[in-house]
Structure 1
Amino acid sequence: MQCVPFEQAARDVSTGGPGVSGRILAQRTIGVRVCILREITIPAGQATGWHYHDGYLYAYVKRGILSHFNAAYTSDGVYTAGNFLTETPGAGHVHIGENRGTTDVVLEVLYVLSHGARLSEDAPDPGCEPH
């Protein structure tokens, strides 16, 4: 089995706010797919930055409350500890995750990617107000 080199996977992430961090817990290649499990921490008042994924993403909220918005800055979910969420791949699915609470949001995230794909791609701020 092949794995994405840790150094490559660690730098292939979207630009988030101050203190947003991720660490790889496990990675494995299964056939033509690369599966990477990461723990992501979003401090209170911070966000992931606008981005999209080249593959499917499955997340479990371990701690905190994650507010999730699409490119129209319309809420497409508020996820609390114990909730799961999925994100569809492609540039047509730009989104941002925000921590509007007072404690860290901690997510366990499984990325299912084609070999060589990045974990996420930065996207420009759509410049709209939340609603």
Structure 2
Amino acid sequence: MTAFRALPLAAAVCAAVLPGPAGPASATPSVGVEARILSQSTLDGQDFITKELTIAPGGSTGWHWHPGQVYGVIRAGTLTHYGSDCAVDGIYPTGAAITEQSGPGYVHLGRNLGPDPLVMWVGYIDPAGSAQATPVSNPGCPFE
């Protein structure tokens, strides 16, 4: 399978967890997140990026939103996903696909509440040169 054909699958993985460039001083940082680029290309003004994200037990993506499309697949562990209302809006076990909405109106956070590392393949389709995620401050939730 070519890297481009695998993009929708890998992209389906993500949804949550890529720290982008530094945001405002009050932005919440990711904790325990490692990212590895699997493939990257630009075509017709859009970046196509696939990453493997690993979140350590107890780790978090930090609060953020995405400027473009995000798709991911959970390869190991379980992702617990929260909306800006502090409620869990999804629990994604190994093998589950995830997509996320785009834009600053969809602030969210992903956490690894399990005892093992969480591994995701995540695909991003963004305007060329943009960050995959924009960090923001905690919307008032009692956790990061």
Q: Same fold (TM over 0.5)?
A: yes
1:46 partner SS: strand
Aligned AA for 2:30? G
Identical positions, percent: 35
- C-alpha spacing 1:45/1:11, structure 2 compared with 1 (3 Å): closer
Aligned AA for 1:85? I
Residues 1:86 and 2:94 aligned together: no
- C-alpha spacing 1:11/1:102, structure 2 compared with 1 (3 Å): closer
Normalized against structure 1, the TM-score is what? 0.85
Aligned 8 A contact 2:19 2:133 in 1: no
Q: 1:38-66 deviations in whole A, cap 9, x for unaligned?
A: 00000011111000111010010000000
Q: Which runs of 5+ in 1 are unaligned?
A: 1-9
| Alignment RMSD | 1.8
What is the aligned partner in structure 2 of residue 117 from structure 1? 130
Normalized against structure 2, the TM-score is what? 0.78
- The 5 A counterparts of 1:1-131 are 12=20, 15-17=29-31, 19-129=32-142
Q: How many residues align?
A: 120
Write the distance in 2 (CA, Å) between the matches of 1:106 and 1:73: 23
Shift of 1:23: 0.9
